[in-house]
Chain A
Amino acid sequence: MAARVLGVVVLAALLVGPFVPLGVMREYTIHVLVQIFIWSFIGGAWSLMGRFGLTSLGHGAFLGVGAYTTTLLWNFFGLTPWLGGFVAMALTAVLAVIVAYPCSRFQVVGHYFGLVTLAVGEVIRLLIIAERDWTGGSLGLTLKPAGGDSLLALQFADKRVFYYGALVLWLAGLWVWWRVDRSMARSAMEAIGEDETAAASVGIHVTRFKVGITVLSAVLTAIGGIAYAQYISYVNPDTLAGIGVSLRIVFAVVLGGMYSMLGPTVGTALTIALSEYLRVLFGVKFIGMAETIYGLLLILFIIFLPAGIYGTARQLLRRRRPAPVAA
């Protein structure tokens, strides 16, 4: 009950947030919040797979395919991101099937699954760099301006539009997470994660569930990539594909805790707040220092809070109350 009231209060605060007069800080605060919403959504998409033991280290591939497909279609053919988005989602789904189907059929799990997805992420990043005539290579690509606000081009001068868009996206992500959490698929996937052979022996179609959850996770990640590209209106192979961004997503989720609905959000909010704080603190004076501290803190968090921040906090709270069911 208390949690529900708290949730309503937080949501109300987020809804009126952009109209709070913060002076010059408003634009910046909104910018940080938009990033938190979008990356939390992406983190949530990753955790749909991650919580079942499908540790993907290549979600950058899905981000990159999503963001680059819509951007290229818009820049070269003037196709609105609303339609380009569907093309991007379809392509991502195809890529996800190409990865997930053989992985499932040949029982590529654990470390091997991580490394296969890592290779897929690198393939996409290198392809983007290699096709530099189209994609601008490692210099990246700027979204062609539509000239003023345009719903068709998904470009707006006012950051608040993106704020509400990202907020809706984030809530939609939480809804998907909740639906999966309460579905049959969750029980099936948990069984598969525990013991694939045993799950198959009780009649669970292992491949169908694995491919299904991978496609869902990949398509959501692509949507996140599209949203981010539209917001920043610039795409770059290093920020939207490859190992760096893939690891960042996993970090945020594991830091928050991947087994709870709000874990990815808590982790993402913390990592983004931390890196923004360090960036502002050091400015351009000590290049690399902010990232150094970021890396160090990540190691410490992983060692000392293995269940994630949100997960650990929940464990502590639960220990105080009498446990209803011994887990």
Chain B
Amino acid sequence: MIDPLFLAEAAINGLLLGGVLALLALGLNLIFGVIDIVWIAYVDLVMICMYAVYFLVQVYGWPIWVGGLASVALGAVLGVGVHLLIISPILTSAPVNQLLATGGLLFFLQSFATFLWTTDHRSVRLTLPRLELFDMPISVARLVAFALSILVMLGLYLFLTRTYIGTAIRAVSQDREAMALMGANPQRVYLVTSAVGGAMAGVAAALLIIQYAVHPFFGAAFGPITFMICVLGGLGNMVGAFVASFVMSEVIAISGVIWSTEMGYVIAFVVFIVMIFVRPGGILTRRG
């Protein structure tokens, strides 16, 4: 029998992990909902931003918050770059070609990172205290990351609902053709979406680097689970992705404690596969 305290600790860790996963999933989901292309290499862009923070903070000694802001800016630039160079030429191609073009980007980023920075694991060391809650150690870095990701998500929500361009983004994700008929310029909406999605990758990178070491295959570790969360939440459905992140992170954390880390992911993927069959539109929709 497993000590309930372990389970509670796992549940809290899962909750904290869920915050960051939600950030990743929301960025990817925003892009998917608007442009209708899955960026297979999304988490690899996060990996590049993590390296940027690592070098700025750990090697050049910049304060962490400046490194974080730089990462957000870099993410936005990368997002725009990916859209202009790779996505816009293939907007009308077959879906398999679109998947593969961003898949090629995944190979490119992974191996270019290996080439530049080798496969060493690198982490930013922050001297943050550890909290104790009922004898359970809680990492302050994770707590901070969780709080910040919730704040950023609130910001995204306000941006999408309270600004003009945010409303346009939501409109395109609802009906592409109708938006063009209304005289809106989808190209501009796509660009802004890619920039915002990229910036979200930058935020996620800054929050991930204080908890995990970065290495060229970081994207391979977090990528699949991010796609699963997007689908589970309903592609393009922001609230769904938010809820799904916490469902998945709890599944991973708790079954990770009961069996092993790999089994945690296996169970999470199986949950995903079953959920697709039961609720194809995402966890928040009713079967129609």
Question: Interface residues, chain A, CB within 8 Å of chain B?
Answer: 50, 55, 57, 102-103, 105-108, 110-112, 114-116, 118-120, 122-123, 126-127, 129-130, 243-244, 247, 250-251, 254, 286-292, 294-296, 298-299, 302-303, 306
Contacts and interface: CB of A to CB of B under 8 A. Distances in A.
A130 B263 contact: yes
A291 B99 contact: no
A291 B109 CA distance: 9
A55 to B, nearest CB: 5
A102 B277 contact: yes
B95 A111 contact: yes
B107 interface: yes
Contacts of B99: 55, 57, 111, 114, 250
Contacts of B263: 126, 130
A318 B142 CA distance: 61
B42 interface: no
A296 to B, nearest CB: 5
B192 interface: no
A288 B220 contact: no
B107 A254 contact: no
Contact of A119 (B90, B107, B228): B228
B112 A292 contact: yes
A299 B101 contact: yes
B227 interface: yes
Interface stretch (B57-65, B182-190, B266-274): B266-274
B93 interface: yes
A97 B231 CA distance: 22
B95 A55 contact: yes
Interface of B: 38, 40, 86, 89-90, 93-97, 99-101, 103-116, 118, 216, 220, 223-224, 227-228, 231, 235, 259-260, 262-263, 265-266, 269-270, 272-273, 276-277, 280
Contacts of A114: 38, 95, 99
A111 B269 contact: no
Given A106-B280, A254-B100, A299-B86, A294 B111 contact: yes
A218 to B, nearest CB: 16
A115 B99 CA distance: 11
B16 to A, nearest CB: 22
Contact of A295 (B96, B104, B270): B104
B95 A110 contact: yes
A292 B111 contact: yes
